[in-house]
Amino acid sequence: MSAHETPAPTRERVLAAIDKPIPPRIKQAFLAMFVAGFAVFTYGAVRGNGRAWQAFQVNWLFFTIIASAAVMFVAVQRIVTARWSRSVIRIMEGYAAFLPFAFVSLLLMIFVGNEYVYTWWDLPGTGELNSAKDLYFGHTFFWARSIGVMGALTILQLWYVWTSVRLDVGVSPEGGAPWAAGIRAAMRRGFGDERRELHTTHSRQGVMAVFMALLFGFGWCVLAWDQSMSLDYTFFSTMYGWLEFMGGWLVALMVFSGLVRWFNQHLGASDLITEKQYHDIGKLCFGFTAFWGYLTFSQYLVIWYANLPEETHFFTLRLTGAWKPVTLAAVALTFVLPFFGLLSVKAKTWTPTMMFFAACSFTGLWLVRYIEVYPSIYGPMARGDLPLGKWELALFTGFLGAFGWLYAQFMDGFPKMRVFLMTSPYRDEVQVPCDPRTMEPLPAHE
């Protein structure tokens, strides 16, 4: 067995491991966080409190990009036909459960909280914007592209996860949370020969994964421009979208590193989830920490060197007054500590160190989202007046509760591992793709 090949357990062993539900107290705690956080938000929104909506937007950006990037990472596993992740990748597919909630939240921001969220909302048609921006920020064009992009991405990513989960539901006995019984029944409907289902699904996912990669990259650039960069409507950067979605990609992996360890312990699956996989995930976390730092410094360096006022004001604001400590903390937590801390193999595989650096990255990226949004709204700020308090804490708690509760519901509703690709006698035929109609190997050029 090669260094990165996962074990080939029996189907009975995998089914026994995934049979254990998530403890009810964890789901109850997340639900309580969601209810408490959004009760505070509702109170603020009804009273017209702008901070409530601004905190809503920061947390929407933070959690939504993580969920979307996670599903994109899953699709990348299909593009490269990865085998190392078969026993753990369902843990990442569960992030998709947050996407419908995120889509509804976007509708709330656009149609209800628009005047509080978007600093430019009242400017189109007033003559304060140039003709290009006047067109771009036109309300109909704005909501059409934001909703269109987010809607298309949500549908495609949920459909991809559906095709993946369907294989495992089709070869597993009925079980799981009652709320998903109807969905599981729909997945089993028409499920046929195991070998044919494997190749049909593999071919379909290959097409979907490539389209998802294109839509993810373009779509999150558009969403980053509309939901974050546009708040400072005189600033522009061609790297902004990349920084936005790669930050989510990084933290999705960091959270993944912790969830894999928790599920390994909870399910008693040390023979299915190995230390080599811990190391592989840790290397990915380290690599994308370096990439995030590279993108951040590249954007800063080009703007600093060009020294154009329409660009430099963005960083000048964030490196002065009350914003400066937050900006420096965000960079230290997201890049400096994880980059140097994860250099060694031991740091990537030993749970305490990996969890510490994952927590640093998680906190750091939240501060990055905060420092992207709030200075554009509030401008220069004296050190004692930093708008960081109960509204931001409440909305973070609410969104974290929503994310955690939806994730736990998904993981209890469907098999927690890729039963099919771990145990099917045909599992490695996908390394040599076949025509799903004839079951004959495809020529290399196809």
The C-alpha atoms of residue 237 and residue 303 are separated, in whole angstroms, by 9
Signed CA dihedral, 201, 261, 331, 345: sign only? negative
Residue owning tokens 């936005």: 244
**pLDDT value at residue 2:** 44
* pLDDT averages per 10-residue partition of the chain, 446 residues: 60 93 97 98 95 97 97 95 93 97 97 94 89 92 96 97 96 93 95 90 93 96 95 91 94 97 95 95 97 93 90 93 95 97 96 97 97 94 86 97 98 96 88 68 57
127: left (phi over 0), alpha (psi -120 to 50) or beta: left
Alpha helices by DSSP H, 112-138 = 114-117, 131-136
Q: Is the CB of residue 15 less than 8 Å from the CB of residue 173?
A: yes
Q: How far is CA 273 from CA 102, 223, 276, in A?
A: 31, 36, 8
**pLDDT value at residue 30:** 98
**Count of alpha carbons within 13 Å of 424, Cβ hemisphere only?**
22
Q: Who contacts 26 (Cβ-Cβ below 8 Å, separation ≥6)?
A: 404, 408
**pLDDT value at residue 64:** 97
Give the CA-trace dihedral at 312, 318, 324, 325, to 10 degrees. -140
**pLDDT value at residue 427:** 86
**pLDDT value at residue 3:** 46
Segments making up each domain of the chain, as ranges: 11-431
Q: Is the CB of residue 390 less than 8 Å from the CB of residue 396?
A: no
The C-alpha atoms of residue 11 and residue 172 are separated, in whole angstroms, by 9
Question: Which contacts of 106-110 are long-range, i.e. CB under 8 A and separated by 24 or more positions?
Answer: 106/60, 106/64, 106/146, 106/147, 106/150, 107/147, 108/56, 109/53, 109/56, 109/57, 109/60, 109/227, 110/142, 110/143, 110/146, 110/147
The C-alpha atoms of residue 84 and residue 47 are separated, in whole angstroms, by 51
| pTM for this model (two decimals) | 0.94
**pLDDT value at residue 116:** 94
Q: 63 exposed, middle or buried (CB, 10 Å; 0-12, 13-18, 19+)?
A: buried
The C-alpha atoms of residue 58 and residue 117 are separated, in whole angstroms, by 10
